[in-house]
């Protein structure tokens, strides 16, 4: 009976060894990173897509999911400064599709984030009608126009007065001076 039990155990162990697939450490980490990626389809679909039993992927997630390089420690793109967004747009402008995908995954971004960054940048660059004028500048312009009007009035008055004086002199030359004219 013991011999039968040992033979049965040995047969089971051989079958188990034959069906047991050995996965490399990098494959395991890659599977877990796909699972932890934002927008991941979930553990069931990821396991089916990669041809891995769900329980195996779940145990890999427990083992490798807590490693710091697997966690998403990137800052939320919604909280990025405009400088960071512009730098990202500059970096990704010349990348090929494959390189772009790699860059997006490594930074926890989506292509929709890049489109949003681009639209935000374009909106910020567009002029929004007439620019607002500084109140001090508008005050100075108003004072300047008032001074110009006053100058024009005084120049007109001066020209009129000088014309009267010239006419008065001409009339004195022609008719002579009258005694009560001054």
Per the domain annotation, does 180 fall within a domain?
Answer: no
Per the domain annotation, does 159 fall within a domain?
Answer: yes
The domain boundary, picked from 40, 64, 88, lies at 64
CA–CA gap between residue 57 and residue 72 (Å, rounded): 19
Same structural domain, 103 and 138: no
What SS3 class is residue 18? helix
Q: What is the pLDDT of residue 19?
A: 52
Measured CA to CA in angstroms, residue 119 lies from 42, 114, 126, 132 at distances of 31, 9, 11, 23
Per the domain annotation, does 181 fall within a domain?
Answer: no
Same structural domain, 54 and 13: yes
Q: What is the pLDDT of residue 161?
A: 96
CA–CA gap between residue 67 and residue 29 (Å, rounded): 10
Same structural domain, 23 and 53: yes
Same structural domain, 25 and 48: yes
Per the domain annotation, does 70 fall within a domain?
Answer: no
Same structural domain, 7 and 55: yes
Q: Which of 2-16, 82-96, 118-132 has the lowest mean pLDDT?
A: 2-16
Statement: the pTM of the whole predicted model exceeds 0.75: no
Of residues 40, 46, 36, the one with CA closest to residue 74: 36
Per the domain annotation, does 94 fall within a domain?
Answer: yes
Same structural domain, 169 and 115: no
Per the domain annotation, does 69 fall within a domain?
Answer: no
Number of domains composing the chain = 3
Same structural domain, 140 and 167: yes
Q: What is the pLDDT of residue 8?
A: 55
Query: Residue 4: pLDDT band by 50, 70, 90 thresholds?
Result: low
Per the domain annotation, does 150 fall within a domain?
Answer: yes
Task: Identify the domain containing residue 116 by its residue range.
Answer: 77-125
Same structural domain, 43 and 86: no
Query: Residue 150: pLDDT band by 50, 70, 90 thresholds?
Result: very high
Same structural domain, 49 and 103: no
């Amino acid at each position: 009976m013991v011999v039968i039990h040992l033979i049965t155990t040995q047969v089971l162990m051989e079958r188990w060894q034959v069906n047991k697939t050995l996965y490399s450490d990098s494959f395991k980490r890659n599977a877990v990173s796909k699972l932890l990626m934002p927008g991941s389809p979930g553990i069931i679909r990821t396991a089916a897509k990669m041809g891995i039993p769900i329980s195996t992927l779940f145990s890999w997630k427990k083992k490798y999911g807590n490693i710091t390089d697997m966690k998403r420690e990137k800052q939320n793109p919604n909280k990025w400064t405009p400088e960071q967004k512009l730098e990202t747009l500059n970096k990704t402008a010349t990348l090929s599709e494959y390189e772009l995908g790699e860059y997006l995954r490594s930074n926890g971004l989506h292509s929709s984030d890049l489109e949003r960054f681009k639209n935000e940048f374009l909106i910020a660059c567009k002029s929004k009608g007439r620019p607002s004028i500084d109140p001090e500048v508008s005050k100075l312009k108003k004072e300047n126009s008032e001074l110009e009007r006053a100058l024009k009035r005084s120049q007109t008055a001066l020209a009129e007065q000088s014309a009267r004086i010239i006419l008065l002199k001409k009339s004195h030359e022609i008719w002579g001076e009258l005694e009560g004219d001054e």
